[in-house]
């Protein structure tokens, strides 16, 4: 029997999360390739941004009890550099009001 779209998406997310958690628990983050991590991060960022633009209230992007401030800053800094932004650019968006 075929899965409906939300159930299939949840299953795909679970597969990645399980692979990431295994790699982290084993102290072997390289078990998840850079290419696969980039694909997942890109898709997650695009989906989060699309939902944030149309939904009344934004869902938290991470579970704060599962990440450290260092995890967040390392990731956000790499994302800012990847798309050629600087902190001034980010500051303009930080407190923007949704239209």
How many whole angstroms separate alpha carbon 28 and alpha carbon 31? 6
Give the pLDDT confidence score for residue 38 in this predicted structure.
95
> Are 85 and 45 members of one domain?
no
Higher pLDDT, 89 or 24: 24
Domain range for 1 is 1-60
Cα–Cα dist 59/63, whole Å: 10
pLDDT tens sequence across 28-51: 999 999 999 999 999 999 999 999
pLDDT digits (tens, 9 = 90+) for 41-78: 999 999 999 998 899 888 899 999 999 999 999 999 99
Query: Do 43 and 16 lie in a common domain?
Result: yes
* pLDDT computed for residue 13 by the predictor: 82
- Which pLDDT score is estimated for 65? 97
Give the containing element (helix H, strand E) for 17: helix 5-25
68: phi then psi, degrees, rounded to nearest 5: -100, 160
Q: Which residue has the higher pLDDT, 65 or 4?
A: 65
3 plus 51 within the same structural domain? yes
Provide the domain count of the chain: 2
């Amino acid at each position: 029997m075929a899965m409906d779209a939300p159930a299939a998406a949840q299953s795909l997310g679970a597969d990645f999360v399980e692979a990431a958690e295994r790699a982290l628990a084993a102290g072997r983050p390289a078990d998840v390739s850079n290419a696969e991590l980039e694909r997942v991060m890109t898709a997650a960022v695009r989906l989060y941004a699309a939902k944030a633009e149309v939904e009344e209230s934004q869902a938290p992007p991470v579970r704060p009890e599962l990440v450290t401030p260092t995890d967040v800053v390392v990731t956000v800094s790499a994302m800012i550099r990847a798309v050629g932004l600087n902190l001034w650019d980010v500051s303009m968006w930080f407190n923007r009001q949704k239209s």
